[in-house]
Chains A and B, each alone.
Chain A
Amino acid sequence: MSIPSENTIRIYVMGSAYEVPRGLTIMDAMEHAGWRFTRGAGCRSGFCGACSTVYRHEGDYRLRFVLACQTEAEDGMYLVQLPFTPAPRVSYTLAALNPDENVLLQHYPEIARCVSCNTCTKACPQDIEVMDYVQAALRGDIAQTASLSFDCIQCGLCSMRCPADIKHYHMAQMARRVYGRYMSPITEHLEERIVEIEKGVYAEEVDALVKMTRGELEEIYAARVVE
Chain B
Amino acid sequence: MSIEILMPALSPTMEEGNLAKWLVKEGDSVTSGDIIAEIETDKATMEVEAVDEGIIGKILVAEGSKGVKVNAPIAVLIEEGESVGDIDKVKPEPVSAPLPEPVEGREQANSAPTFTPANDPDLPDDVEMVEITVRQALNEAMAEEMRSDGDIFIMGEEVAQYQGAYKITQGLLDEFGEKRVIDTPITEHGFAGIGVGAAFAGLKPIVEFMTFNFAMQAIDHIINSAAKQLYMSGGQVNAPIVFRGANGPASRVGAQHSQDFSSWYAQVPGLIVIAPYSAADAKGLLKAAIRSPNPVVFLENELLYGVEFEVPKLDNFVLPIGKARIVRQGADVTIVSYSMGMKYASDATEKLVAAGVDVELIDLRTLRPLDMETVLTSVKKTGRCVIVEEGWPTCSIASEVSAQIMEQAFDYLDAPVMRISGKDVPMPYAANLEKLALPNADEVVAAVNAVTYRS
Asked if A and B bind, the verdict is no
Interface residues of B (CB under 8 A from A): none
Q: A: which residues have CB within 8 A of B? A: none
